[in-house]
Amino acid sequence: MDSPQDPNKRTTLGKRNNIAIGSGAVAGGGRNISIGENAGQNTTDNWNIHNVNVGSQAGEASKKDYSVAVGYHAGAILSDAAKKAQAPIADGNRAPSVYIGKEAGTDSAAYGGIGTGALKKCSRY
């Protein structure tokens, strides 16, 4: 049975109640806001809910819920290694993350991290 609030039972949440502003900005998933050039691109529709991505390529290819990424490439998953690291993590084990600043949290496949400032990698707290 589909249960949008239970990430382990999500099947049809994709593309509902989203806002995308900017060239190439994408707000896939549900209840997401992406503002900026290519913000939120390459995210998986059913696995990103309640996120805010602000800035060029903020949140790109990220598989997160209830997270905030503000700044150029903030919270973006760009390397193949980081993409592989985040792929097997079960939905129930994902915690909100907050990344603020240019490239804060870039390639941080950990969940529940906080990164501020430029080029901050984060681990789970």
Whether pTM exceeds 0.75:
yes
**Beta pairing partners, 68:** 52, 98
Distance CA 69, CA 33 (A): 10
Residue ranges per structural domain of the chain: 1-125
| Statement: residue 52 has pLDDT above 70 | yes
> In what helix (H) or strand (E) does residue 20 lie, and over which residues does it extend?
strand 19-21
At 92, is the secondary structure helix, strand, or coil? helix
Are 86 and 109 a contacting pair, CB within 8 Å?
yes
Within 13 Å of residue 84, how many CA atoms lie on the same side as its CB?
Answer: 3
112 pLDDT more than 80: yes
pLDDT at 65 over 70: yes
Residue linked to tokens 């997160």: 64
Residue-wise pLDDT for 72-91, tens only, equals 999 999 999 988 888 777 66
How far is Cα 10 from Cα 94, in angstroms, rounded to an integer? 14
Question: Residue 93: what pLDDT?
Answer: 67
Q: What is the mean predicted confidence (pLDDT) over 63-67?
A: 89
Q: Model confidence at 43, in pLDDT bands (50, 70, 90)?
A: confident
DSSP assigned state of 3: -
Q: How far apart are CA 106 and CA 86, in angstroms?
A: 13
pLDDT at 123 over 50: no
